[in-house]
Amino acid sequence: MKKPSPQLIIDRPDLMTWRQRAMFGALTAAFWIVWFALWLPVVTMAGWLFFGLRFQRHMLQLEGYHGFLGLVGAYALVIMAMGGSLLLWAKYNHLRFRGVDRRRDFPVPAPAAIAQSFGLSEELICKARQHQVMTVHHDDHGAIVRIEDRAAARDARVEAVVAEARSLAATH
């Protein structure tokens, strides 16, 4: 089986279900929390500055400021070097790409290209595109064996349950 080519990647966020959008939002929120957690050392430093008793005891009475001053200088150099490199990189890209908008949507792959890539019929691909939710079954080698419409299967199960309930109601 051939590997799918990059143009066959289907990127259609407008087709996401509300559960998928909710999961995307939850993951985004979780990683924003992680990002804020990375700022905890700065928050701790601000806490030390605002709660002067502990600061006075550790920095002045125990003379902890000597090591702190050495660290502040080293941190300042690292921050300036990293910030300067980011500014230089941003300016380079600004000069390189100014006035050029290279962003564009991926072309929607044709059913024939998808069918050829996966070794399926074009009719099956067109039929599968109509499903909102589907299950794709694979063999041991990763080739697609069957595509099943989950909504139709769910509807069939509901109809079977309703029919059974009706038959039970009719017997009682």
CA distances from 135 to 21, 131, 150 (A): 19, 10, 6
Q: What are the residue boundaries of the structural domains of the chain, listed by start?
A: 18-97, 108-171
Token pair of 121 as six digits: 């019929």
Q: What percent of the chain has pLDDT above 70?
A: 90
**Burial group, residue 125, by CB count within 10 angstroms (0-12, 13-18, 19+):** buried
Q: How many whole angstroms separate alpha carbon 59 and alpha carbon 57?
A: 6
Using 50, 70 and 90 to split pLDDT, how confident is the model at 2?
low
Q: Which residue's entry shows tokens 């070794």? A: 119
DSSP structure string for 40-91: HHHHHHHHHHHSHHHHIIIIIIS-THHHHHHHHHHHHHHHHHHHHHHHHHHH
Position with higher pLDDT, 144 vs 69: 144
pTM for the full predicted model: 0.36
Span 101-156, pLDDT tens digits: 777 778 888 889 988 988 888 988 888 888 888 888 888 988 888 888 877 777 77
Over 90: is that where the pLDDT of 168 sits? no
Task: Identify the pLDDT of residue 141.
Answer: 86
Residue 109: CB partners within 8 Å, gap ≥ 6? 7, 8, 10
Mean pLDDT of the region 62-68 = 74
Across all residues in the chain, what is the average pLDDT? 82
What is residue 119's DSSP assignment?
T
Over 90: is that where the pLDDT of 162 sits? no
Mean pLDDT of the region 75-83 = 95
Span 40-64, pLDDT tens digits: 888 888 877 777 667 777 777 777 7
Mean pLDDT of the region 21-39 = 92
C-alpha distance across the termini of the chain, in Å? 56
Residues in the chain: 172
Q: How many whole angstroms separate alpha carbon 135 and alpha carbon 157?
A: 16
Q: How many whole angstroms separate alpha carbon 150 and alpha carbon 160?
A: 15
Using 50, 70 and 90 to split pLDDT, how confident is the model at 11?
low
